[in-house]
Amino acid sequence: MALSLAVDELEVTGEGGRRILAIEHLATPAGSCLGVKGPSGAGKSTFLFAIAGLLKAAKGRVSWGETEMTALPQGARARFRREHFGFVFQDPLLFEEMGASANASLAAAFLPKARRNGVRATADDALRTLSVPGGRRRADTFSGGERQRIALARALAADAGVILADEPTASLDRQTRDRLVGDLMELVRKDGKSLIAVSHDVDLLGVMDRVVTIENGALVAA
Amino acid sequence: MFQEFAGRWEALSATAQDVIVLCLILAPAVLVGLAVTFGYRPLPLVGAMLWRFRWTNLMFVLLIGTSVGVGVGLLAQERGLRQGTARAADKFDLVLTAPGSEVTMMLAAVYLQPTDAPLLDGKLFNEIADDERVSIAAPLAFGDSFAGAPIVGTSPQFVAHLAGAFSQGRAFAGQYEAVAGANAPVSLGDQIVPAHGFGEAAEEDAHEGTTYTVVGTMNPTGSPWDRAILVPAEAVWAVHGLGTGHGPGWDGAVGPPYSELFFPGTPAILVRAEELWANYALRSEFTRDDVMAFFPGAVLAQLHGLLGDVREAMSAIAVITQILVTAGVLTGLVVLSRLYAQRLALLRALGAPLRFTFAVVWSYAAALILGGAVLGIAVGYAAAAVLSRVLTARTDILVTASLGWPEAHLVAGFISLTIILALIPALSALSRNVVRDLRS
């Protein structure tokens, strides 16, 4: 289920209490695609990790739909992530010794038994849609583009309503990048998922519903 | 209540008790494993982690396996040696010697270790031999050797008592006939010239002109007597110029009765009584100023009792060594878990419960420990087998070390303890910063 995002007066501090992110207000409707751009080190990834509940907010609120993420304890934030979020990082972060299907259905290892078969089936469907051969072929034998598509299948496997992507195309060549962007957008649009993508990639940002810029840890244009 | 429980426990067979103890020792490990992994499927990820750094993991398994193997091997070897020495002394019910050290005389009479011992005279020999409670009284006369094998002068009755049936040939009947132990360096029909003394000090030509003919080979006894060459005591006395132990008119039949007057003396007499209780009476009656009677089995038990303390110490050292090695390995795992930190951070980003991440790291450590323990059993078994052969070859005491319940309990204790210790690297992995690891 896609979720809306509302960020209010969010502050994240780093070592020594130094403020590394301050977002006064940001809201996106459910099912929309938000691009986040900005120079390196500006705080884009910090923003993504903060709204995912991986970084603890020093103050302010992050709400997904009716749920205020910042008010949840650590265990509940983890539960919220596994029920609603899918992640795609710059590095696919695959378990290299496992096959594409096992990597894509990684969540089956820790989800309740009743959901495991569904996750595996969704993962295999996603791999087929993304033209990645399944089976037992080890992940480290796939090309960079295929590996990133396995990571995308993993993000979709648990039927997450929100896809959070951190520079998903940064390590890919032009042709592979174009294909991944196409696949990502097609799958997100088809199922009406929310997408928040941090990227420098103008092609990816170009297909977003909305693009915001973060500089020096603050939102400068919305 | 307690007495009832104790009674029920005693009523169980030894095997049942050992199985129950094994289960109780393993129970903490099983319970921890179930509690940590319940509801999850961490094994595919653990398999991937094990394969990813397989050579490093193999090194850890080898380290654990070696330390467990040393402990298992030591325990098995010690028990094998104890059983072997006890088996070797089995045929020696009661031994009479001149007063002195029971241990020294036991080593000489039972294990054929060279020693200088005062001789018992013919009067004493006949006193014990003529006792109606005694079925066998055999002189044991040491001092000569052939090709490193001791030549022992004794009686045909002792030969029959020691080895029973022959694998080849027959018992000696003539004065210069000999029977060989199963591993003695002679064959049926060989003619040998005895040397005076043992080892490098042996005088090869001291008994030139004396030749023994090997007329029989005994079955194996698993004792140093397997390397010995047994000849009539009359021959040993004669080649040393001491007569034959029989008076004028001797018909040449070897063995008792010996003449009290012409009996040259013997350093030891093996005694076998008709009844078990008689051994105790004989020991009491023949422990006096001019003679000492002892049960080799009892002396051996005392020695084993003394060595028991050493065994306990060795076991403790073995366990401590295993724990230290495992602590080192687990510390290594804490370091190694940094290599997996990004993947573990990914799991947590995906929303994996903390207990799942914990289960992955713990299962990984447990797999190394279990692998090491299984390897350790194999290493211990192999080490015990090799050491047994070496000890058997060097002492002629048949040492058969096999793995038993004590080793199973040791390994189970090791597994339980270290699997609980493996919670530490798992906890350590949870304390890492997820975002920092994702960005690394």
Please tell me which residue of chain B has the smallest CA distance to A87.
Answer: B350
pLDDT of residue B157: 92
- pTM for this prediction: 0.77
Q: 3-state DSSP call for residue A211?
A: strand
pLDDT of residue B67: 87
Give residue A221's pLDDT band: very low, low, confident or very high (50, 70, 90).
low
Q: Is B42 on the interface with A (CB under 8 A)?
A: yes
- Torsion angle, CA of B261/B263/B267/B272, rounded to 10 degrees? -100
pLDDT of residue B293: 93
Hey, which bits of B44-197 come out as E strands?
Answer: 94-97, 134-146, 149-154, 166-169, 177-180, 191-192, 195-196
Question: Using the beta-carbon criterion (under 8 Å), do A110 and B52 form an inter-chain contact?
Answer: no
Asked if B57 contacts B368 with a C-beta cutoff of 8 angstroms, the reply is yes
pLDDT of residue A168: 87
Asked if B138 contacts B158 with a C-beta cutoff of 8 angstroms, the reply is yes
Low-confidence ranges of chain B (pLDDT < 50): none
Taking the C-alpha atoms of residue B380 and residue B407, their distance in angstroms, rounded to an integer, is: 9
CB-closest option in A49, A82, A95 to B350: A82
As for the ipTM of the complex, it is 0.91
Q: Is A49 on the interface with B (CB under 8 A)?
A: yes
Question: Using the beta-carbon criterion (under 8 Å), do A54 and B349 form an inter-chain contact?
Answer: yes
Average predicted confidence (pLDDT) for chain A? 90
Place of tokens 């010996």: B258
Q: Which residue type does B11 have?
A: A
Could you read off the pLDDT of A15-70 as tens digits, one per residue? Answer: 888 888 999 999 999 999 999 999 988 899 999 999 999 998 999 999 999 999 99
Taking the C-alpha atoms of residue A206 and residue B437, their distance in angstroms, rounded to an integer, is: 30
pLDDT of residue A209: 93
Q: Look at the alpha carbons of B437, B438, B439, B440 in this order and tell me if their dihedral is positive or negative.
A: positive
Interface of B with A in 176-235 (CB under 8 A): none
Tokens of B272: 């076998």
pLDDT of residue B388: 86
Q: Is B403 on the interface with A (CB under 8 A)?
A: no
pLDDT of residue A222: 53
pLDDT of residue A179: 86
Could you read off the pLDDT of B296-332 as tens digits, one per residue? Answer: 988 988 888 877 777 778 778 877 887 788 788 778 8
Place of tokens 């290594």: B332
Please tell me which residue of chain B has the smallest CA distance to A139.
Answer: B48
User: Parallel, antiparallel, or unpaired for β B195-196 and B134-146?
Assistant: antiparallel
- Backbone phi, psi, residue A151, to 5°: -65, -35
In this prediction, residues A123-147 reach a mean pLDDT of 87
Please tell me which residue of chain B has the smallest CA distance to A103.
Answer: B45
Question: Using the beta-carbon criterion (under 8 Å), do A113 and B352 form an inter-chain contact?
Answer: no
Question: In chain A, pLDDT over 90 holds for what percent of residues?
Answer: 55
Q: Is B347 on the interface with A (CB under 8 A)?
A: yes
pLDDT of residue A188: 86
Interface of A with B in 160-219 (CB under 8 A): none
Question: Using the beta-carbon criterion (under 8 Å), do A78 and B44 form an inter-chain contact?
Answer: no
In this prediction, residues A177-193 reach a mean pLDDT of 87
**Cβ-based neighbour number of residue B107 at 10 Å:** 18
Could you read off the pLDDT of A101-119 as tens digits, one per residue? Answer: 999 999 999 888 888 899 9
CB-closest option in A78, A93, A116 to B343: A93
Interface of A with B in 92-111 (CB under 8 A): 93, 95-98, 102, 106-110
Size of chain B in residues: 440
The tally of CA atoms less than 13 A away on the side-chain side of residue B91 is 23
Could you read off the pLDDT of A65-97 as tens digits, one per residue? Answer: 999 999 999 899 999 999 999 999 888 999 988
Question: Using the beta-carbon criterion (under 8 Å), do B350 and A93 form an inter-chain contact?
Answer: no
Asked if A54 contacts A27 with a C-beta cutoff of 8 angstroms, the reply is no
Residue A210's DSSP bridge partners are A34
